[in-house]
Structure 1
Amino acid sequence: MIRRADSIIIVSDGLSDPFEDDDDVFVPRGHLLEVCIEAPLAAFDGAPVQASWLFDVIYQVSQNVADHGSIDLLLQRHGSVSMALDLQDAPKALEDENEQVGVLLAQGAATLPPAFDTPYGEVMLLTVIVLQPAELAYISEAEDKAQSRRDLAAALTAEPMGHWSVAERPAVIPR
């Protein structure tokens, strides 16, 4: 966790740790990435970060990244990745008709680096942005999902809140 003057950044821990896979081949940087989410201090209402729905977002995204194993390749190919999560205690305004919360993962943000160095080499830093239900539907209904994610990422970063995950904000639908 990183506390800034007006926000908190929750960062995964361990996705880039070295490990040996099933073939006993040493992978020096694990999954080659870590994930983070930034939200205003008000989103935590003074409660411990670990008790927040935002912490659950990072936990679940981390589990998905670890399970998939090649999110870095999807990001290189498509520029961003989206997923729907079953969160505990998510704000109802963020849940779609299936009671899931959408997120968008992209590399870097205006105030966050796209990568950082480790003793084993460079590791990508993926920014997770919580989506409004209409934004998740925009991606789901698009013929070119990769382009819709890129357009949405650009529209979100152009907003005043940028990459911050905020429960109650107007949906940003690119035209």
Structure 2
Amino acid sequence: MNFFKKLLDLLRSPVTQDLRAEPQINEAEAANLAARLAGEACLDRHWRSVGTVERDVIAYMISPSFRGGPDWPSTRQAYRVVRRGDSILLATDGLSDPFDGVEGMGNGFEMELFMETAEIPEHARGSLGDVDPLKNSWAFELLEHVAKTVADAGGVTERLDQYGTLSLEIPGFSLSHHMSDQLPKIFVTEDDSTGVLLGALEPDFQTRLDDMPLSPVRLVSMVLITASELEYVRSGGRAAREDLVSRLKAAGIGHMSNLNRASVV
């Protein structure tokens, strides 16, 4: 909070105001910006404790919200890249931004999604300092799809509190740009869908950030599941979903999305 206060004071200072482009922002906008920057700094500190964080994020030239896409809390929609040995962790960056033009609502949807995998094709991995190739990976395309669904729902923290874990399916697999070329058929149902679990499997790092500027934020894991696992959840509902989580834990699969693993059902 000290960082947040100092940043807000800086934004109010005459020197800072002289450097701002016209028109100058008002008090509420300054507070919102200070909170957003403080949240970004908090996330950055956390991800740096997890692995090597790329300086650049994966972002858009024009926010998708201006082109009919689901609204995130702010117009900023981006994705962080964290390199951890042979694996790459991709995380949303903006779902926990304070809401634009709204005060007293906390840190946006109070969550960010992440997924980690070592199974990204070499041409789409990029080297340290180059995140652009990752746009051509199945992992980014899948995370982007799920992020849109989560944003359209206004976040899923309440449902996670209620159910513990959630399952989500993405239809139209054959129409995807990169998943259809890079994912094995074991992950595709007969009706052309792919499935994931949200919040089911805890990683080897903290997933609750209590030091965000406005309200706590949780980092929600996203794990790719096989077609037979998705069918199992479809037919069995919550009991099957909970059993699947237990089987995945027992198999030592953890939070990693592994394309070479066998199905557990």
Same fold (TM over 0.5): yes
Per the alignment, residue 12 of structure 1 pairs with: 92
Matches within 5 A, 1:113-128: 113-116=206-209, 117-128=211-222
- Structure 2: how far apart are the matches of 1:45 and 1:79? 35
Per the alignment, residue 29 of structure 1 pairs with: 107
- Structure 2: how far apart are the matches of 1:112 and 1:148? 27
- Structure 2: how far apart are the matches of 1:44 and 1:111? 24
Structure 1 position 85 matched with structure 2 position 170: yes
What whole-Å deviation, never above 9, does each CA across 1:1-52 have from its counterpart, x for those lacking one? Answer: 100012110001111111158xx56422111100000001x42324222210
What whole-Å deviation, never above 9, does each CA across 1:69-108 have from its counterpart, x for those lacking one? Answer: 1411110000011111145232241111121110000166
- Structure 2: how far apart are the matches of 1:170 and 1:107? 18
Structure 1 position 139 matched with structure 2 position 233: yes
- Structure 1: how far apart are the matches of 2:223 and 2:142? 10
- Structure 2: how far apart are the matches of 1:26 and 1:110? 31
- Structure 2: how far apart are the matches of 1:108 and 1:130? 11
Structure 1 position 58 matched with structure 2 position 143: yes
Equivalent pair of 2:120/2:138 in contact (CA under 8 Å): no
Structure 1 residues 130 and 16: alpha-carbon distance in aligned structure 2, compared to 1, 3 A threshold: same
Structure 1 position 74 matched with structure 2 position 159: yes
- Structure 2: how far apart are the matches of 1:19 and 1:96? 37
What stretches of structure 2 of length at least 5 have no aligned partner?
A: 1-80, 125-132
Structure 1 position 49 matched with structure 2 position 134: yes
Please report the TM-score for the alignment, with normalisation by the length of structure 2.
0.59
Q: Higher helix share goes to which structure?
A: 2
Equivalent pair of 2:201/2:249 in contact (CA under 8 Å): no
Equivalent pair of 1:107/1:124 in contact (CA under 8 Å): no
64-73 or 158-167: which moved more?
Answer: 158-167
Between structure 1 and structure 2, the one with the greater Rg is 2
Report sequence identity in percent: 30
RCO (CA 8 Å, sep 6+): is it higher in 1 or 2?
1
Q: Higher strand share goes to which structure?
A: 1
Runs (4+) of structure 1 exceeding 4 A deviation are: none
What whole-Å deviation, never above 9, does each CA across 1:43-67 have from its counterpart, x for those lacking one? Answer: 2324222210110111111111110
CA-CA distance at 1:155 after TM superposition? 2.0
- Structure 1: how far apart are the matches of 2:86 and 2:109? 30
